[in-house]
Structure 1
């Protein structure tokens, strides 16, 4: 009987991964600052209405619909580390422009929408390169460990970031907080620039027409039955959840008259669930099953949506509902994402990773700008409380794609290329 192959050295001794991890840790805090400062700036300072908030939400994810597919092919042709560096310096400049315009007394809502779109385009390229870079940077038997560490840090930032951001907003204006966000992206740029890897760009003589390479990424996703189910569930969940989360700042800050500081603290307390989810993702997959944990976590997300929808019904306990709803949703999202992203990375050949990730993101994120625009239209027509229940019903419908798939009851997800 042969012994199993030895495990690769721990990631704590992997210098390049530690540099990536440290840079992303700072950027994650910056992203959390931006996540609370931009809605506060739009609603409390610029006086945005439902339609403008919907456009702002749509702008931030528009790039996934516009360049989501070709981004994957471009990333596969490029050095992924350089793509991430360019994306981070772009985000640093865009976030930095907001406080400059504000200090000059020139900031308007359309500036915020345009800059959100620029940040979103940079995010597309960073995210596709980032997910495709992990299998290049670390050994295959450490991919899940790497994803778990990165997600744990993201959730730690999710716990501390909004609360700290909310407290800072009681002392400084939202544009000043966005200047801090710009600095964190600059720090991430420096950290990634210091990484030394052995990645080589795809040979020019082996490149084929861009559309041919895009179709290969789409075909890979379509031909894998489990990936199809996961993509359908994630896309519909993102669509309906975006209807709710786009309008949530208006509900909290304007309708329920909750202060930005308290809003940030509520998000931080609720985000503890994300940290718990990141820590428990691997043990949950082992105990429940790598496949089964995906539909169960999708159903758990429905519970979180119900709690959000109850906020206008019980305004006296709206803060508590926001905290618990955010915690439940965060656990659901983290367990779901770690399981399905690790599966995607294990099953896909390295040369196809960028196109596969871009294809998935085009489908699951491309619906979000559409939802952003529609959220403003629907909220204006039927009101925010009714929109929340509509979104909750939609997320329940979305979970059906993985609940009714072979994932339910599956102990081990396939690792071979011909998995179905």
Structure 2
């Protein structure tokens, strides 16, 4: 199959900014719901100290369901992306996301929502997220000029970080609404059965998906001709195998992917470890200050996100490295590993915040430089299939990390688990600085082989 580079649409940057803005709203809504769900499990569902094993299981099971569904469906999503209109895929995913968010809202209104149903719904959310992400990631190069790709990637990284900043604050506010109304004796009858405001967070999430879909329905997001052309039919099975062949024949890209697999192995369990570290490892500190678990957890999440926002703004304004972008990946990885180790070693909320702030600073640079390398190496019509396999290889360790974090945290101090994971990440990333294969990752092998595909 021959694939040609497609110049971005004339008004592509304007369209990308609208698309980025609308999808950013959805990301923010999901961050509100995700933080609220962790509070629901930690404070409402399993409030007692002796329920630590059940809490660890619930946190890891829901995160694992999302991660496994998102990771294992990646090759299917990528193949679908390279065979169908990418705008329609994103639109359908937004609408399904809204339906699932409102479904979880209904479940949380029950006296005790079955955990297995929540786990299954989390898995469906992961599936929808992968299809949307695959189509979105493959749309960058049809909209954004090549010299603006690092800036566009930095903008998206900023939103992910901003979501972590705004999400906890908004979620905490919504969670406290029923209790506040009870104190003022202004609680409406129809809200009298609510224990907290977690369902409000999912209402916000569902509405954000609806708004994102409405904006997307007014945009024109082109797909490469090879995606929509049906005059030369391709085998679905061959398309699913294509991404594996493309990456397997390019050792530098594969080395970069395997390094990110280690990153995800070390960092993905943080979603399970962080609430446990706050509840058990940092309890003496925040209790002595008269604070609460919700406030302490929100403070850590917000601090990390502030670092992420600042890092994202920096990479968006700067535009990233124009050459040797691999250094923009590996150096932040080393710093992130050391910061994770410091977080696990911390005994105070202030120390933990400082470590997470540094971690937040590193993520936008790391991810934006990596994304720019891939976007410059893979032709647009192939990006759905290649990027989906890329996601599978890089993220296959994320569910394993989540499961290990839950198992290890149930037996050992959560802080020690984070400490070991951070040191492992720093050592592996530092070793890659001396890997000659990794240094060739930007030599243009992907584009040189384009005509042969």
Superposed pair shares fold, TM > 0.5: yes
Check the 8 A contact 2:344/2:414 in 1, yes or no. Answer: no
Change (3 A) 1:289 1:203: closer
Within 5 Å, give how 1:347-358 maps onto structure 2. Answer: 347-358=377-388
Check the 8 A contact 1:168/1:177 in 2, yes or no. Answer: yes
Q: Give, in whole Å, the separation in 1 of the partners of 2:172 and 2:448.
A: 46
Q: Give, in whole Å, the separation in 2 of the partners of 1:206 and 1:397.
A: 48
Alpha-carbon offset, residue 387 of structure 1 = 1.8
Q: Give, in whole Å, the separation in 1 of the partners of 2:427 and 2:448.
A: 26
Mapped pair 1:304 → 2:372? no
The aligned residue for residue 74 of structure 1 is 80
The aligned residue for residue 3 of structure 1 is none
Moved more, 230-239 or 364-373: 364-373
Within 5 Å, give how 1:215-294 maps onto structure 2. Answer: 215-253=241-279, 256-257=282-283, 258-281=292-315, 283=318, 285-286=320-321, 289-294=324-329
Change (3 A) 1:240 1:191: same
Change (3 A) 1:85 1:287: closer
The aligned residue for residue 34 of structure 2 is 35
Check the 8 A contact 1:151/1:278 in 2, yes or no. Answer: yes
The aligned residue for residue 16 of structure 1 is 15
Q: Give, in whole Å, the separation in 2 of the partners of 1:398 and 1:127.
A: 28
Change (3 A) 1:243 1:154: closer
Alpha-carbon offset, residue 77 of structure 1 = 0.4
Identify which of 49, 55, 60 aligns with 1:49: 55
**3-state SS, counterpart of residue 305 of structure 1:** helix
Identify which of 195, 199, 202 aligns with 1:178: 202
Change (3 A) 1:134 1:285: closer
Q: Give, in whole Å, the separation in 2 of the partners of 1:60 and 1:192.
A: 25
**Of the two, which has the highest radius of gyration?**
2
Q: Give, in whole Å, the separation in 2 of the partners of 1:197 and 1:54.
A: 37
Check the 8 A contact 1:56/1:112 in 2, yes or no. Answer: yes
Alpha-carbon offset, residue 16 of structure 1 = 1.9
Q: CA RMSD in A?
A: 2.7
Check the 8 A contact 1:54/1:247 in 2, yes or no. Answer: no
Alpha-carbon offset, residue 346 of structure 1 = 1.1
The aligned residue for residue 446 of structure 2 is 417
Q: Give, in whole Å, the separation in 2 of the partners of 1:342 and 1:192.
A: 24
Check the 8 A contact 1:30/1:182 in 2, yes or no. Answer: yes
Mapped pair 1:165 → 2:165? no
Q: Give, in whole Å, the separation in 1 of the partners of 2:38 and 2:448.
A: 43
Change (3 A) 1:235 1:401: farther
Change (3 A) 1:321 1:205: farther
Q: Give, in whole Å, the separation in 2 of the partners of 1:16 and 1:65.
A: 28
Alpha-carbon offset, residue 289 of structure 1 = 4.2
Alpha-carbon offset, residue 405 of structure 1 = 2.7
Identify which of 347, 368, 371 aligns with 1:341: 371
Check the 8 A contact 1:253/1:259 in 2, yes or no. Answer: yes
Q: Give, in whole Å, the separation in 1 of the partners of 2:448 and 2:361.
A: 28
Q: Give, in whole Å, the separation in 2 of the partners of 1:110 and 1:202.
A: 39
Q: Give, in whole Å, the separation in 2 of the partners of 1:286 and 1:104.
A: 51
Q: Give, in whole Å, the separation in 2 of the partners of 1:268 and 1:41.
A: 18
Within 5 Å, give how 1:205-224 maps onto structure 2. Answer: 205-224=231-250
Moved more, 33-42 or 401-410: 401-410
Check the 8 A contact 2:148/2:319 in 1, yes or no. Answer: no
**3-state SS, counterpart of residue 195 of structure 1:** coil
Structure 1, residues 283-341: CA drift from partner, whole Å, max 9, x if none? 38438942322211111111221122113xx2xx2x22332222211221110100010
The aligned residue for residue 195 of structure 1 is 219
Q: Give, in whole Å, the separation in 2 of the partners of 1:53 and 1:416.
A: 42
In structure 1, stretches of 5+ residues that fail to align are 1-6
Q: TM-score, normalised by structure 1?
A: 0.88
Check the 8 A contact 1:94/1:115 in 2, yes or no. Answer: yes
Alpha-carbon offset, residue 118 of structure 1 = 0.8
The aligned residue for residue 392 of structure 2 is 362
Change (3 A) 1:217 1:182: same
Q: Give, in whole Å, the separation in 2 of the partners of 1:46 and 1:147.
A: 38
Alpha-carbon offset, residue 41 of structure 1 = 1.3
Q: Give, in whole Å, the separation in 2 of the partners of 1:237 and 1:352.
A: 25
- How many residues are aligned here? 407
Moved more, 117-126 or 383-392: 383-392
**3-state SS, counterpart of residue 77 of structure 1:** coil
Check the 8 A contact 1:220/1:356 in 2, yes or no. Answer: yes
Q: TM-score, normalised by structure 2?
A: 0.82
Change (3 A) 1:306 1:183: same
